[in-house]
């Protein structure tokens, strides 16, 4: 009977194993959430740039074209840089 009990893991060992597994899964999910949040923000920024470009192309105006350039430079550019870092 003692040999059967010796082969089983202890309760503390089981709890440590479960805790380590849970920490690993939570870490992977956290990384996935960060990457997906950056990609979603980049998608919204690019969609906004496309919309501004369509609006500026329909009625060419120096101010609208400048707005597209500033938006691309100050919003889309940094977002692409951030997305490329991950």
Model confidence pLDDT, tens digit, residues 3-53: 455 555 677 788 888 888 898 899 999 999 988 988 898 899 899 889 988
pLDDT at 1 over 50: no
Other Cβ atoms within 10 Å of 29 Cβ, number? 10
Whether pTM > 0.85 for this model: the answer is no
Domain boundaries, the chain: 60-86
In sequence order, what DSSP letters do the residues of the chain get, joined into one string?
A: -HHHHHHSPPHHHHHHHHHHHHHHHHHHHHHHHHHHHHHHHHHHHHHHHHHHHHHHHHS--HHHHHHHHHHIIIIIHHHHHHHHH-
Residue-level pLDDT at 29: 93
CA distance linking residue 43 with residue 64, whole number of Å: 21
């Amino acid at each position: 009977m003692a040999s059967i009990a010796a082969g089983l893991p202890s309760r503390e060992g089981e709890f440590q194993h479960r805790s380590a597994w849970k920490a690993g899964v939570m870490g992977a999910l956290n990384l996935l959430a960060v990457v997906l949040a950056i990609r979603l923000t980049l998608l919204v920024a690019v969609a906004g740039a496309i919309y501004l470009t369509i609006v500026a192309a329909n009625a060419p105006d120096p101010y609208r074209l400048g707005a597209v350039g500033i938006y691309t430079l100050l919003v889309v550019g940094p977002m692409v840089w951030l997305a490329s870092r991950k």
